[in-house]
Structure 1
Amino acid sequence: MKRNEKAFTQKDLAEYLNISQSQYSRKEKGNIEITNDEWKRISKLLDVDI
């Protein structure tokens, strides 16, 4: 997983997206949809294409 390769925790990404770690975890598992804006921000942080 790219997040792990970059040494980011779920908490790191949650803080970056200004959401709780538990909410981020549910998004990562696919239980909650990741918004287009969040995809853009995550891809920029992880330096990957969407």
Structure 2
Amino acid sequence: MTNELLQAIQLLKNKKWVDLTHTFGPNSPHFFMFEDAKFETLFSQNDGFFAILP
């Protein structure tokens, strides 16, 4: 890695990170012209992992 990249990584490591993720579902607020969120299960834990398609 270049020195610039290493400096950038070190700078990012020293910053405070805030997780802004939140839950999302059919009852989440949204623009009235859009439909409510719908989810389709693609894989379950029986398949070895869990994945949904929003």
Greater helix content:
1
TM-score, normalised on structure 2? Answer: 0.20
Greater RCO, CA 8 A, separation 6+: 1
Q: Which has the larger radius of gyration?
A: 2
Greater strand content:
2
TM-score, normalised on structure 1? Answer: 0.20
